Amino acid sequence: MTIFKPLRQLHVGRTLASGERVAVGTLAQNRQGIFFAYQADYLARFGNLSPFALRADTALQLAPREPYDGLHGVFADSLPDGWGLLLQDRFFRRQGILPQQLTPLDRLAFVGHRGIGSLFFEPNQGVDVEDVADVAALGLAAQAVFDGQSEDVLQSLLAAGSSGGARPKAQVFMPASGAALARSAPQPGDEAWIVKFISPHLPLGHEEGLCEAVYLTMAAEAQLNPCTWQLLEAPPASGAAQWLAVRRFDWHGENGRLHQHSLAGLLNADFRLPCLDYEDLIKASRQLCQSVAVGEIQFRRAVFNLFACNQDDHGKNWAFLQNDAGEWQVSPFYDATFSPQRFGEHATAFAGFGKTPSVSAMQKLARHAGLDWPDAQRILRHTLDVLGGFAAHARHVGITPGTLRLIQAALNQVWQANRHLTA
């Protein structure tokens, strides 16, 4: 059995949009908990990484015990959940280390330089391989692990599997000219992508990626600034026709990064619980980005999620990007898909309503967004017009008639329940 000693200290760095790497500060833990301290020269040059939760000074700052296992929200954003944790745990067990022995610092060290966003952690104790893998092989391996058909985890899958979310995916670099190859480390001219694989055990089975592609298409029509995406041909053995790939918006140029921070991490909110409201999202967006205009796009996204039955709209599915000058902007819209939840309740509430918000509740959200009610209703009607094209988009990408009817019936039901908002 491996004698395991948890890390007591971890150095935090940041990759700038220019590609330059700078030291940010230090994480350390003792029996009291996990502390963070900025380096003075970092604060002299750059903005606060988490303005609502961290002070912009060099004093030690103790993380709250909850909800991130004693870790500050901004650093918890670098950790995987669900799928990525499964891969991590498989790796550590093979090293003779029980997952229960690991602290958040150990897991951050495993992420090392491979996390989403600009932050990196040293010592880097992850699996850094220069593998060139066929996307098809990577996807089949991920599907086998997710479905419980294999205990083996490819090194390339470990290196690519540190993103968030519960479903199988991989962070890869692909040549702009084509997606036949997926690399775990970028080469000149590569683009950074997250490929989302499928499984028959997912709610929509092999059509999960197709449905999300349709939703991202409609999100563009609804003026929601969605992430860039493409559909990749999947091997017949996968059972799917195509996999969805989304381009990473934290990646800047060939080597640069933008700092990415989720709403949940920003507010130290537990994304696993329905504890946030679209009021929180809109207020935080306007304050953080110092912009009135961002209120409107977040209101548009809220309306879309309501009528599109995207009810898995938790705090990790909202993000902000910070540039090297310390300026913030809302991220592109992502993880937008048909995701009905138990009892039809959204993870993020609408001014106190988990579903079927009242007119006064939506008026309240509109006011927070800087909109009068007539303008808000125009957004509502435009969104409904966009969603009316679901069936045509679904047929175009090859969604089967049975799945189409299932989703369309749910959309019709949501429309009937919320039609009072457009009266």
Shared domain check, 168 and 189: yes
CATH number assigned to the domain comprising residue 398: 1.10.1070.20
Residue 1 domain-assigned?
no
User: What digits encode the pLDDT tens for the residues 317-372?
Assistant: 999 999 999 999 999 999 999 999 989 999 999 999 999 999 999 999 999 999 99
pLDDT at residue 214 is higher than 80: yes
Number of domains in the chain: 3
Shared domain check, 411 and 294: yes
**Rounded to an integer, what distance in angstroms lies between the CA atom of residue 304 and that of residue 414?**
11
Q: What are phi and psi of 261, to 5 degrees?
A: -140, 125
- Give residue 48's domain range: 9-122
Shared domain check, 115 and 38: yes
Shared domain check, 331 and 369: yes
Q: Of 252, 281, 297, which residue is a domain's last?
A: 252
Shared domain check, 409 and 337: yes
Q: Which residue has the tokens 């992502």?
A: 334
The pLDDT assigned to 354 comes to 97
**What tokens were used for 15?**
């990759």
Name the DSSP letter for residue 333.
B
Those residues with Cβ within 8 angstroms of residue 208's Cβ, 6 or more apart along the chain or in another chain: 167, 196, 198, 202, 244, 337
Shared domain check, 279 and 404: yes
Residue 274 domain-assigned?
yes
User: What digits encode the pLDDT tens for the residues 242-266?
Assistant: 999 999 999 998 889 999 999 999 9
Name the DSSP letter for residue 184.
S
Are 335 and 308 in contact by the 8 Å Cβ rule? The answer is: no
Shared domain check, 242 and 138: yes
Q: Of 208, 237, 252, which residue is a domain's last?
A: 252
Shared domain check, 244 and 301: no
Shared domain check, 402 and 304: yes
Shared domain check, 313 and 288: yes
**Rounded to an integer, what distance in angstroms lies between the CA atom of residue 54 and that of residue 38?**
10
User: What strand order describes the sheet that includes 181-183?
Assistant: 132-134, 181-183, 169-175, 190-196, 242-247, 229-233
Residue 127 domain-assigned?
no
| Prediction pTM value | 0.93
Shared domain check, 212 and 145: yes
The H or E element containing residue 232 is strand 229-233
**Residue 169: exposure state from Cβ atoms within 10 A (0-12, 13-18, ≥19):** buried
Residue 4 domain-assigned?
no
Residue 112 domain-assigned?
yes
Across the chain, mean pLDDT equals 91
pLDDT at residue 2 is higher than 80: no
Q: Of 59, 92, 122, which residue is a domain's last?
A: 122
Those residues with Cβ within 8 angstroms of residue 26's Cβ, 6 or more apart along the chain or in another chain: 9, 10, 11, 12, 36, 37, 39
